[in-house]
Amino acid sequence: MVALREPVRYCDAIRLLGADDADVVDLIDRLVADEATDLLAARTDLVGFAHQALNRLDREAHLLSRVERTRHIAAAHSVVVVTAFFESLDDTELPFRLDNGLDDAAAGVADRKRLGEFVALLVASAPPLPRPQRSASDGRTRVRRFYLRRCKQLPSVLRGMPLWEDLDQSQRDAVIDRLGSALADRCVRRYEELRDKLAASFPEFGAWAALSVMRPRYASAPETPMGLSRLQHRLQSISTGRVPSAVRGALARSHQERLALPSGTQTGGTHVPPLSISYVNPDFRVAEITAQTRPHDPDWWHEHTGVRDDLAEFLLGHLTSPRALTHPLVVLGAAGSGKSALASVLAARLPESDFTAVRVSGRNLPADADAQALADRFDHALAASGGGNCDALPVLVLDGIEDLDTRSRASRSALLAGLERFQRERADGPDPVAIVLTCRDSTAARLRFPVGSVAVRLEEFTNTQIATWLSIWNRVNAGYFHHHGVASLDWESLEAHLPLARRPLPLLMMAVYDGVGNALRRLSAPLRETALYERWLRMLTDAADRADPAGTGRPAEAESDPAVRSGRIEQALLTASLLALSLFHRGGQVVDGATVAADRDELVRWPPNYARPLDPLRLACVRSTDALEGAPPSLAFTDPVLGDYLVARLIAEELAELAEARIRELRSIRPAPLDDSFLYALLSFTPLSVSGEVPRFLTERLRLLSAHVRDELRLALADLLREAGRHRREAHYGGYRPVDLGAAARDAAYTANLMLVLVAVHGGAVPLRELFGADAAARWRSLAHLWRSQLSPEQWTSLTDTLRVDDDGSGDLVVHPCDGAPPTDDPGAQTDLGEVARDAALLADGGTQRLLHALSPLVRLFGGDVTARDGGDVSDAHAVLALAFGSSETDDAELVACYERAFAMADALGSEERLRFIVFLLRQLRGHAHRLGARLAPLAARHVRPIGVARSARAAVRRLAEEHNEHVAAVRDVLAGRW
């Protein structure tokens, strides 16, 4: 199978579509090589072949596999673009034919070559391919720009032909006018005719191009906002119809059955509807990841993208496009926004005849795995699922990047880069794979997604979507409501809590909460998110305790004594919080019931008269799941955000106890130092910042404390931070070791967490001078370097994206929470240099920040990867600076390498910036001509050219000048040595 990369060159497209036509393949090879050819006949042959190939592709599409179909459609589009140009050029009225006179001896070889080079350029070009993440108007603009570039090259071809001299000035002006924007517009109109015909034959191409053109047999696909059913119908309508293997069929049925399973009875009888009938397609935004993309920042999304409501159509376009074979699709959203639900629904909706969906949870991947280990695991999972062939496209759905092990020696960004390499390697072979990732916004803040990936951000529910979900909930629970005398959940009861109800998880929680005695409508104020979680968890806990009094040890007085009942609930919530803490500290590793029990016994000393703790598995929000490949059963929360809340709740309770203890000591006639041993046990293993939700929940919980208690807590934390590391705190809890860390690593985690909590209590900036005195800057740098040296890459990165150090304007440093804005001279969130900038901002590293400021002009032009090195190659920044200032000390081989790198950099720039940079390089090249000698011509021939057939450096530069004819004089001045 031919591995075509996006965009597809016209010559490669012809070779694919005409693979069984030796004459056409030979013709295209001769045109690319610029060999002597009858150009008029060649153009006619290519246009005729294009229409035959498109018709044959329509007839024989059913013989292609899913991947072959995608590649043939991409090739067909490139053929359509160039064919529209040929046909529009033939229809253009000119006072002569372009081929006229080329056989005349007077025309000479140069004239034929000039036109031949232009045709070779067109044949070797790669027209832009529509992408489903872009609008139809954007695709049209890009194609028109492609035509304009070709049209701008035509006048220079004509000016060198003898026929041009026979025209007067008015005729020349008329020809240039007809070959300019007017020709480009005619090309676009003809292209749209051919494009719409292609979309009518291949509905997935219509989704690529954001068109609504389709054959009548597809028009009956239901327009429903539920369950991605439209995606399923559309994919089935274009299915190859191949019979899946038994393994693949069984896997598909398991996805479908999981979608249809009822979620069980919750809290007194209400039923959570299965996803097969309750999943509401969310609105979304979509963008391609670039160096400057800020995928975690809602403001960036609102500024740069628009809201879309065609999720099924977008997924149809993406999963059938070439980009799906080379770049991951990243699904982003806030906690509880429905990312995991989307992953489940998507896996169930893909037809098994054309796709093999393999869903893997991040928490089930091996701990401390590097990129190669993950690639090997995915290879094994795909092979076991029957996805190792081209009959069906494997779709790997990795649900929950935030659940990947936070203690791995490789950062999550490095793992994502390895995942992209894994995908690209397979794309070049016989078994490509599509990858879909889900990730929380808070985790995305510290990730570098592969540039070129497609990111989708799920939007909050609209009023209509909320009403749709409510109607399903009320219909499923109508019997329960009638039997228990409970009113159904109506809009009026929900309206006061709409900010929370716009996310699927909180909406479900409020519905369950209201199902017990219409509790929601009895509230007098809108719910905060933490208050919702607290009320919901207390309700679940009480229901679990009531369900089996004998099994849970619930005393009889709990029914009549509110204090006893409240104590039972607190005890159960403490048990659940310790489970959450076990999961949190182990960074995504498997945690079984025995491990949780051991942790609990080390941290909590239950009095002898206490009833035994409630088994966490009795809570409806906790489940037991089998890890991948037969690993031991693991405990997990139904949604990880519940575990994050419970961790924050446990720490907030202990902090409140600490503040109250300080207040008591201040009143005592025998004051004693604060005992922070339990706090040390809680906070000395993992920075809270590894989960973006824990600091957020903790901040909200701490706001509930009285101002007096917060003030005392602030003072207590400052004392603990100043004294950190001077004495050990393990006297009472030394047996609690969820992970094996040394003293320095535990001190790093503890002090980092004290700083995070102190910032949360302050509610803003913390002046370091007030904390550490006159040597605050030195103390801070010492502390920050301790964190960097002892924490894992992922843990350190989480700190750099949570805290920032700035000058307060008077020369003193302040620490404050990151507000989502980039640091000064930010090289881009998705670049290596961006990580350096954030490291320097937390380390208060003025030297590095000054270097970044010095590099900022290069960063603005070339992006934040200017310092990146591929293997032993020179970096972009080194190449430019060496050519500008250091060439006398650079040996000839390195000088050539610098030019190679610099010319490659120019290819990534826009037209104006590219020309200015080329002018700079030409000026330097002129000065180095005596050193480069015989290497000068091939160097310029490879890079300084608008077409791929340069024979000498001067000819290549002349053609560059003619392509950018508005700058001809400037480039000629360079060549003449006048610059």
Angstrom CA distances, 278 to 123, 514, 540, stand at 51, 18, 22
Given CATH 1.10.287.130, say whether it is the number of domain 246-459: no
Q: Are 599 and 616 in contact (CB under 8 A)?
A: no
Q: In what order do the strands lie in the sheet with 813-817?
A: 766-767, 813-817, 803-807
Give alpha helix (H) positions in 305-400.
Answer: 311-319, 339-349, 371-384
Return phi, psi of residue 689, to 5°: -70, -15
Cα dihedral 651, 657, 663, 666 sign: negative
For residues 587 and 368, what is the distance between their CA atoms, to the nearest angstrom? 10
Q: Any idea which residue has 């740098």 for tokens?
A: 781
Instruction: Please give the pLDDT value at position 706.
Output: 93
| Residue 313 Cα distances to 221, 316, 766, 911, 961, angstroms | 11, 5, 49, 33, 44
Q: Is 534 exposed, middle or buried (0-12, 13-18, 19+ CB in 10 A)?
A: middle
Q: Residue ranges per domain, the chain?
A: 10-208, 246-459, 465-527, 528-637, 642-821, 876-975
d(CA 561, CA 556): 9
Asked if 244 and 352 touch (Cβ cutoff 8 Å), the reply is: yes
Tally of helices (H runs) and strands (E runs) in the chain: 44, 13
Cis-peptide, bond into residue 7, ω within 30° of zero: yes
Cβ atoms within 10 Å, residue 45 = 15
The span from the CA of 836 to the CA of 214, in Å, is 49
What's the pLDDT at 822? Answer: 57
pLDDT digits (tens, 9 = 90+) for 400-429: 888 876 666 677 888 888 888 889 888 877
Residue type, 108: G
pLDDT at residue 655, as a whole number: 96
What's the pLDDT score for residue 408?
67
Alpha helix positions (H), 385-521: 412-427, 441-444, 463-476, 478-484, 491-495, 498-501, 504-514
Tokens 């000479």 sit on residue: 108
Count of CB atoms within 10 A of residue 900's CB? Answer: 16
Token pair listed for 397: 């759905």
Give a three-class secondary structure readout of 662-728.
HHHHHHCCCCCCCCCHHHHHHHCCCCHHHCCHHHHHHHHHHHCCCHHHHHHHHHHHHHHHHHCCCCC
Two structure tokens written together for 968: 């001809």
Q: What residues in the chain have per-residue pLDDT under 50? A: 1, 100-109, 213-223, 264-265, 627-630, 945-979
Report the pLDDT value the prediction gives residue 471, as an integer from 0 to 100: 96
Say how far apart CA 459 and CA 464 lie, in whole Å.
13
